[in-house]
Amino acid sequence: MPKLRALWIRLFNLFGISRARQNEADFDAELASHIALHTEDGIRSGLTPAEARRQALIRLGGVEQTRQAVRERSILPWLESLLRDLAYALRTLRKHRGATAAAILSIGLGIGANVTIFSMVNRFVLRPPPMGDPTTLLALHTAHEGDRCCNSFPYPVYTDLRDQATSFSGVAAYFELIPASIAGGGEPERVFGQAVTSNFFQVTQLPMVVGRGFIQGEENAPEVVLGAALWQRRFNADKAIVGKTITISGHAFTVIGVVTPAFHSVDQILGTEFWVPLGNVRQLVTHLPSQSSREQHWLAVVGRLRPGVTRDQAAAELKTLADRIALSNPKTDKGNYFAFEQAGSVPQGDLRAVILFLTALSIVVLLVLCIACANVANLLFAQAASRQRDMAVRLALGATRFRLQRQMLIESTFLGLGGGVLGLTLSLWSTRALSSIHLPAPVPIDISFHVDWRVLAYSFALSVISGLLLGVAPAWTASRPKLANALKGEDTLARPGRPISLRNFLVVAQIAMSVVLLCVTGLFLRSLQSASTIDLGFRTQNLLIMSVDPRIHNYTPERTVAFLTQLQQRAASVPGVQSAVVTDSTPLNGGNRSDGFHIEGGPNDPGAYVMADLFMVAPGYFETLAIPRIAGVDVGSETATGPRIAIVNQAFVDRLLGGKNPIGIQVSGGGATYRIIGVSGNVKARTLGEETRPVLYRSLQQTVATDPSFLGYTLIVHTVGNPTSVEEAVRRQIHALDPSMAIFNEETMEEHIHAAYFLPRLAATLFGTFGIIGLVLAAVGLYGVMSFAVSRRTREIGIRMALGAKPGTVERLILRQGLVLTLIAVVLGWPAAWMLSKLAGTFLYGIHPHDVFTFAIVPPFLIAVALIASWIPARRAASIDPMKALRAE
């Protein structure tokens, strides 16, 4: 404690809080009194006054030394000199305002890009879910030998695991996605929720905002836990909501709690907003597998490891457990095993793609930051050169090299931190923009990401590191000027006999990196261009889309068909509407129902199968979407319970039937047999980039009862003019049929397709932005180096011109220098780009990673930019007046 007290006092003294000046005067007085006392003693013992005073001073050991020793004790000397350096650095940076702004802008762009990408990495790879100790929460899967991992659980397998596995303190199961309508507090809305076992909240240890989670014995309780976003959106964050009753899909549930805003699903991807006990799931979802079936997999499972149990031990136990279960249920469970990963981490299957994408992005943004740092390092070199006299004087006066280096490093760290602040600001803005991107998926997905403490720590570390890195080389060089040269007023940093200066090396590295960046950027721009020319196979304009799900309003299949049929008729009669049709889901929805099909009565081996996407259609579908009908007839003549009919696309015919006349042929798949009555043109069914998929269109009225759409039904309206102009009228038709019907996915087909371009557009936007930033930085860097070279060579150029060199010759001299640097850089960067572009391959649409156009256009483009960047200083060199140049020195 006394030590701490002393430290505080010294700190206060240092910052002048406790009147340091007065302290010094006080000590001077004390010292004077000391000397006087000592002198008096001396006189008393017989010395002359002069001798007595001399003795007193000798015994003291010097007035100035004592004063200095006390001063050092009263403050913290090392901190004082550091503070002085900090103040000096700030003063220097303020003096060179332009250069400082340029440096901070450069680093800010670099760090902003890095922080944005790191926020993504943080969201998808690093951030633990808000569920107790995330390392002990495992997402469990079933898998079958020889098949791809992973599958969900049948209910009895879950209970076997729950009751028998001792590695876990608790195992919970949940049904992942329940579409439902929620009423009260405004228009009815479709939301998604989950049905969970009553131990779910104990196992996940989710923090609650208000209320509690379910407890043992509430398996069938009509209770609900709300997500924080839903609670805020529809219930105004009312804390008194606990105990109130709300209606979900027409069923009454009592709210018992609100879960933390950080949680929206165990996998951290799905955006679900309410949780009900699993016993209620059949009220909300029809056509669920039987509770006793060991073959139908429908439950996701998470387990909490018992304290002290390792994952390896759990894996071993699960293996023996799987064997035991297989023995007692040989018919259904033979060959099954369990797999797990930490809950909330990116699922194994998608991990590769996500990591690949983030790696590519990380490399690119690191390149941008390197270019920015090289830029600023060059700027500091230029500054160091102009401050060499200052440095030489300080060295000559006895400053240590370390002191000078520390001085320069403090300056560059300030630049780094300034850039960090700017970068963080930029990334706050960019993360918000990126989070708001609408994903082309039929299920709710929450991938929003934000700046949290991890991101803050990362950007701070990045700023300091880049500040130090970019300062090291200039500080090293600047702190060892040649004193002799400095006194003569000559260049002190030039090292004779070293043709490749560090500055030139930096600029070559910069340009080489921007070659890589530009190639990648070019690839993604080309990819976007090529994606935009993809033939979708259906009408993209003047279509309005609206979805409803009568099932979550407790409609029977018959009532659903009647509702949809009436809706189609009513919508078609709205003024301004050409035609309307109901289907289950729109094309380009990201994912879709699909089944394996084979020819009925044909060979039943795996080779005779074809996977086809399934769509439900009503009469007029193909005309409304302008999909050509190639052969046969449209749906409409069938009856709901009659023999099933289908229309298939050309790809289906080509793959399964090998060009045979398909009309009348019977195909089977997904437990049903269909007679083909027509053939249509190909469309992009799921995603833009897909190879054309076989598609089978079923009759809506024959399918609603037996195989209902899980995600509702969609009305597609073909309008005469702008689709949004009839939006209100169509909504009114829906509410005229049922005022409580929740409407969702309301958009025009153009908006829908715009969302489908998500990936190529995101990639092109990100890489395009980073590429342009990198290019501008590199060009500025080259410009800086060239103009510095010109200013250094002013005298040389003056002499050349005095001796008869033409301005043109001088201009070419400078241009040539810039061009040589650029060419070296291109020669180095181009092969690197060629190799790295393979990384990007997976994300490109319709172009090769070694796209000839991109790789051919980048070098000349870059050389052109480099020429412009060095042309400006070259012009300045050519306009040098030899008389002035020579007189200036």
Alpha-carbon distance 52 to 55, whole Å? 5
* Choice between 41 and 350, CB closer to another protein: 41
CB of residue 132 to another protein, shortest distance in Å: 47
CA separation, residue 811 to residues 2, 125, 619, 781 (Å): 70, 53, 74, 19
489-494 long-range contacts (CB < 8 A, ≥24 apart) are 489/389, 489/889, 491/385, 491/388, 491/792, 492/388, 492/389, 492/392, 493/384, 493/385, 493/388
Q: Are strands 274-277 and 189-196 parallel, antiparallel or unpaired?
A: parallel
Collect all residues with Cβ–Cβ distance below 8 Å to 594 and sequence separation of at least 6: 611, 612, 613, 614
Tokens of 365: 């943004």
Residue 41 Cβ vs another protein, minimum distance, rounded to whole Å:
8
Cα dihedral: 89, 91, 92, 97 (round 10): 120
**Nearest CB to another protein, comparing residues 7 and 125:** 7
Measured from the CB atom, the residue of 12 and 460 that comes closer to another protein is: 12
The residue type at 326: A
Handedness of CA 604, 610, 615, 621 (dihedral sign): negative
27 vs 834, which CB is nearer to another protein?
A: 27
Task: Quote the least distance from Cβ 52 to another protein, whole Å.
Answer: 13
- Residue ranges binding another protein (CB under 8 A): 2-3, 5-6, 9-10, 26-27, 29-31, 33-34, 36-38, 40-41, 59-62, 65-66, 69-70, 72-74
Judged by CB, which is closer to another protein: 36, or 720? 36
Q: Rounded to the nearest whole angstrom, what is the least distance from the CB of residue 65 to another protein in the complex? A: 6
Q: Give min distance, CB of 265 to another protein, in A.
A: 58
CA distance 222 to 645: 42
State which residue, 70 or 90, has the beta carbon closest to another protein: 70
CA–CA separation, 103 and 112 (whole Å):
14
Q: By C-beta, is 68 or 725 nearer to another protein?
A: 68
Q: Which tokens go with 66?
A: 């004592």
Give least dist CB 48 to another protein, A: 19
**Other beta carbons less than 10 A from residue 438's beta carbon:** 12
76 or 574: CB nearest another protein: 76
Least Cβ distance, residue 57 to another protein (angstroms): 10
Asked whether the beta carbons of 713 and 583 are under 8 A apart, the reply is: yes
Q: For residue 252, count other CB atoms closer than 10 A to its CB.
A: 10
In DSSP terms, 208 is beta-bridged to 259
Beta bridge partners of 248: 182, 251
In the complex with another protein, the residue whose CB is nearer, 70 or 824, is 70
List the one residue out of 781, 756, 640 whose CA is nearest residue 702.
640
Least distance between another protein and beta carbon 392 (Å)? 36
CA 819 to chain centre: 37
Check if the beta carbon of residue 815 is closer than 8 Å to that of residue 480: no
Q: CB of residue 85 vs another protein: minimum separation in angstroms?
A: 25
Cα distances from 31 to residues 16, 43, 62, 235, 430, in angstroms, run 22, 18, 11, 76, 64
Question: Closer to another protein at the Cβ: 62 or 349?
Answer: 62
Q: Tell me how far, at minimum, the Cβ of 82 lies from another protein, in Å.
A: 21
H/E run at residue 512:
helix 502-532
Residue number, 37 or 125, with CB nearest to another protein: 37
Q: Give the whole-angstrom CA distance, residue 630 versus residue 697.
A: 14
Provide, rounded to whole angstroms, the least separation between the CB of residue 12 and another protein: 10
Report the SS3 class of residue 137. strand
Please identify, using beta-carbon distances, which residue of 55 and 765 lies nearer to another protein. Answer: 55
Taking the least distance from each CB to another protein, the nearer of 36 and 126 is 36
In the complex with another protein, which residue's Cβ is closer, 40 or 750? 40
Residue closer to another protein, measured from CB, 78 or 453: 78
Nearer to another protein, 60 or 229 (CB): 60
Reference 778, options 585, 506, 519; nearest CA is: 506
Token representation of residue 46 = 């017989």
Smallest CA-to-CA distance from 617 within 581, 577, 578 is with: 581
Closer to another protein by Cβ: residue 14 or 729: 14
- Report in angstroms how near the CB of residue 398 gets to another protein at its nearest: 24
Distance from C-alpha of 798 to C-alpha of 122, rounded to nearest angstrom: 56
CA 433 to mean position of chain CA atoms: 11
HSE value, Cβ hemisphere, 13 Å, CA-based, for 883? 0
Q: Which of 189, 190, 205, 249 is nearest to 224 (CA)?
A: 249
Distance between CA 634 and CA 632 in Å, rounded?
A: 7
Locate tokens 């130090």: which residue?
A: 468
Supply φ then ψ for residue 719, to 5 degrees: -105, 165
- Residue given tokens 């709710």 in the structure block: 444
CB 779 within 8 A of CB 866: yes
Q: Least distance (Å) from another protein to the CB of residue 798?
A: 60
Sequence length of the chain is 889
User: Least distance to another protein from the beta carbon of 45, Å?
Assistant: 12
The burial class, CB within 10 Å (0-12 / 13-18 / 19+), for 52 is: buried
